[in-house]
Amino acid sequence: MAWIYLISAGLFEIGWPVGLKISQQSGTRLIGILLAAFFMLISGFLLWLAQKQIPIGTSYAIWTGIGAAGTFIVGVLFYGDPASLGRYLGVILIIAGVITLKLTH
């Protein structure tokens, strides 16, 4: 169950940078900040649950890796963030690191 908590925490981790992005415009500032805070709370709580059974270094690295890779993908797909071979390679390396941490746990 701890791994489900951790993967879920990583997916919720994607939500708070998106909320902060939404808050950049004055008309959506409050809703963006509230979304970011909501996703931070849920993500942090799920990480806390996961760390009851998964070592802190492993759980934190996987949590941030899922969040970083997921936020990159959301940025490219929905916000016009730059996408290049090098940036995709970087995300692939993050994902490979996350998989390696899981397999060697």
pLDDT digits 0-9 by tens, 34-68: 999 999 999 999 999 999 999 999 999 999 999 99
| pLDDT attached to residue 105 | 74
In terms of Cα–Cα distance, which of 76, 88, 94, 59 is closest to 18?
A: 76
Record the tokens describing residue 25, joined without a space. Answer: 């415009």
- pTM here is 0.90
The amino acid at 24: Q
CA angle 42, 74, 23 (to 5 degrees): 65
Q: Is 18 helix (H, G, I), strand (E, B) or coil?
A: helix
